[in-house]
C-alpha cells in the first residue's frame, strides 16, 4: 500500500494531485496527517476534493515554535512505536511518501523506517548549499535524503545534486505543484468574491523563520516592505506567526497606518492564486511561491539570501539578498521578468503514482 504522510498546508497543496490520481485510479492508499498544521487544512481538502486523513497523529494546536516541534515530534514517534500496526494497517511491504523540507518530512521518513517500509521523497534534490538559508529546511532535506530509498526529483538540476547518494532517483521534470495549479485554474476563473484593488498592486507574503525569528530580522523585512510601498500599492497577506511578531515588535500599527499597504488575512489556496494572477508582482520568502510564480510567468522577488530552487531564477525570479539596489532594479524592470505561463502535457503526479505502483 502507498502511505502518504503530510503535515503542513504547503505539503498538502503539493501532494493533493497525487492523492487525486490515487483516488481516480481506485488505488488504495493511507493518508496520514502529522497534525503540524490544522488551520485551513479542511479548505484545501475541499478545494481539491480529497478525503480527510485516515489517521491523525496529533490533534492539538498548530506547531509553530522550536520547543513545540520537539515535544510534538517526540510524542508522535512514541505513538508510532506503540501503534504502528494500526497506523500503517499492518502493512510491512508498502511505500511511505513524504514531501519537501518540513519537520513533518523528516518525521514521516523516520516513521516509515520505524515501520520497516521503503521511503519515497517527493521534491527531492533541492539544495541551497547554505545550512542557514533557508533554516532549518536545508538541514531537514539533507537528513531526509539519507532516510529515503526513492527520490522523486523535479528536474535535472535536482537529480545532479544527489550524485553522492546511492539511491533510486527519478526525474519528474517539474514539481507536483504544476498539477495543483492545473486543477486550480479552472475553478479560480469562477471566483468573484475577492476584493481586487482597482489600481496595480503587489502581494507580500512572508513567514520564514530567518525573517521573523528576532527583532532585527523583522525590522529588516518591514523596512524593505515600506520602501516598496513608497511607490507601489501592496496587499500584505498575514501568516499567523508573522502577525504575532509584527504585533510584538510594534510594526502592525505602522503597516495599518500606511496608505499604500492593505493587510489581508490568509486566503484559501484557490483565492490566493487568484490574487497572484491579478497582481503585478509578488514579494515573498516562500519556495512554493517561487515555483507558482514561475509556472504562472509572474515577477517575484525573494526576501532571502539564497534559495534551494532554480525555478525561474533570473528569468522571473530575483533573490534580493536584502539589497535595496537589487530590489529597486527588480521593481524598475518588472516587464523584463514577465512571461507566458508554463505549458506541459506530462504530469509529475501521474509519473510518481506509476513508479510507486511498479515498486510495490
Contact, 359 vs 150, CB < 8 A?
yes
Q: Which residue has the cell 532535506?
A: 141
Averaged pLDDT score across all residues of the chain: 92
CATH topology for 195-266+279-337 is Rossmann fold (3.40.50)
- Choose the CATH number for 2-186+346-359 among 3.40.50.2000, 3.20.20.70, 3.40.50.2020, 3.20.20.140: 3.40.50.2000
**pLDDT at residue number 76:** 75
**pLDDT at residue number 340:** 92
247 backbone dihedrals φ, ψ, rounded to 5°: -70, -40
The DSSP output letter for 280 is S
Band of the pLDDT at 246, cuts 50, 70, 90?
Answer: very high
Sequence-ordered alpha helix ranges (H) in the chain: 9-24, 41-48, 66-87, 103-114, 137-147, 156-160, 177-188, 209-212, 215-229, 240-248, 251-257, 269-278, 287-296, 324-332, 348-359
**pLDDT at residue number 231:** 96
pLDDT digits (tens, 9 = 90+) for 174-233: 999 999 999 999 999 899 999 999 999 999 999 998 999 999 999 999 999 999 999 999
**pLDDT at residue number 65:** 63
**pLDDT at residue number 345:** 78
Cβ within 8 Å of residue 32, ≥6 positions away = 3, 4, 5, 6, 53, 54, 55, 56, 57, 87, 108
User: How far is residue 175's CA from residue 357's CA, in Å, rounded to a whole number?
Assistant: 19
Q: Do domains 2-186+346-359 and 195-266+279-337 have the same CATH topology?
A: yes
* Domain locations in the chain as residue ranges: 2-186+346-359, 195-266+279-337
Radius of gyration, CA atoms only, the chain? 20
Please indicate whether residue 342 or residue 5 has the higher confidence score (pLDDT).
Answer: 5
Contact, 222 vs 251, CB < 8 A?
yes
Least confident of 5-19, 54-68, 278-292: 54-68
C-alpha cell at 304: 532571502
Band of the pLDDT at 117, cuts 50, 70, 90?
Answer: very high
Q: Which of 302, 284, 274, 301 minimizes the C-alpha distance to 197?
A: 274
pLDDT digits (tens, 9 = 90+) for 132-160: 888 888 999 999 999 999 999 999 999 99
Global model pTM greater than 0.75: yes
Please indicate whether residue 318 or residue 81 has the higher confidence score (pLDDT).
Answer: 318
**pLDDT at residue number 62:** 65
**pLDDT at residue number 112:** 92
Average pLDDT over residues 319-324: 97
pLDDT digits (tens, 9 = 90+) for 50-99: 999 999 887 777 666 666 767 777 877 787 777 878 889 989 899 999 99
**pLDDT at residue number 139:** 93
Q: Which residue has the cell 496595480?
A: 200
Please indicate whether residue 34 or residue 66 has the higher confidence score (pLDDT).
Answer: 34
Amino acid at each position: 500500500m502507498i502511505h502518504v504522510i503530510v503535515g503542513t498546508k504547503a505539503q498538502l497543496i503539493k501532494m493533493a494531485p497525487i492523492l487525486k490520481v490515487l483516488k481516480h485510479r481506485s488505488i488504495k492508499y493511507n493518508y496520514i496527517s502529522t497534525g503540524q498544521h490544522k488551520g485551513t487544512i479542511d479548505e484545501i481538502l475541499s478545494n481539491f476534493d480529497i478525503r480527510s486523513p485516515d489517521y491523525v497523529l496529533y490533534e492539538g494546536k498548530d506547531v509553530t515554535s522550536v520547543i513545540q516541534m520537539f515535544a510534538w515530534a517526540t510524542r508522535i514517534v512514541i505513538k508510532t512505536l506503540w501503534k504502528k500496526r494500526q497506523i500503517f494497517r499492518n502493512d510491512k511491504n508498502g511505500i511511505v511518501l513524504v514531501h519537501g523540507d518540513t519537520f513533518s518530512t523528516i518525521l514521516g521518513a523516520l516513521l516509515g523506517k520505524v515501520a520497516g517500509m521503503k521511503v519515497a521523497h517527493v521534491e527531492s534534490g533541492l539544495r541551497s548549499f547554505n545550512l542557514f538559508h533557508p533554516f532549518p529546511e536545508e538541514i531537514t532535506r539533507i537528513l531526509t535524503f539519507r532516510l529515503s530509498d526513492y527520490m522523486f526529483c523535479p528536474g535535472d538540476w535536482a537529480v545532479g545534486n544527489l550524485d553522492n547518494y546511492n539511491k533510486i532517483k527519478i526525474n519528474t521534470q517539474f514539481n507536483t505543484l504544476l498539477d495543483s495549479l492545473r486543477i486550480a485554474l479552472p475553478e479560480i476563473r469562477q471566483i468573484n468574491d475577492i476584493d481586487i484593488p482597482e489600481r496595480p498592486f503587489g502581494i507580500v507574503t512572508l513567514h520564514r523563520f530567518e525573517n521573523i525569528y528576532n527583532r532585527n530580522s523583522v525590522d529588516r523585512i518591514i523596512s524593505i516592505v515600506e520602501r516598496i510601498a513608497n511607490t507601489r500599492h501592496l496587499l500584505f497577506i498575514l501568516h499567523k506567526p508573522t502577525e504575532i511578531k509584527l504585533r510584538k515588535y510594534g510594526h502592525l500599527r505602522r503597516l495599518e497606518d500606511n496608505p499604500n499597504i492593505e493587510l489581508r488575512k490568509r486566503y484559501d489556496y484557490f483565492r490566493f492564486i487568484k490574487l497572484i494572477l491579478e497582481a503585478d508582482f509578488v514579494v515573498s520568502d516562500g519556495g512554493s511561491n517561487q515555483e507558482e510564480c514561475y509556472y504562472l510567468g509572474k515577477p517575484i522577488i525573494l526576501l532571502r539570501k539564497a534559495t534551494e530552487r532554480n525555478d525561474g531564477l533570473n528569468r522571473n525570479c530575483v533573490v534580493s539578498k536584502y539589497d535595496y539596489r537589487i530590489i529597486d532594479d527588480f521593481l524598475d524592470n518588472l516587464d523584463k521578468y514577465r512571461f507566458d505561463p508554463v505549458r506541459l502535457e506530462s504530469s509529475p503526479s501521474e509519473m510518481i503514482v506509476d513508479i510507486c505502483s511498479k515498486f510495490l
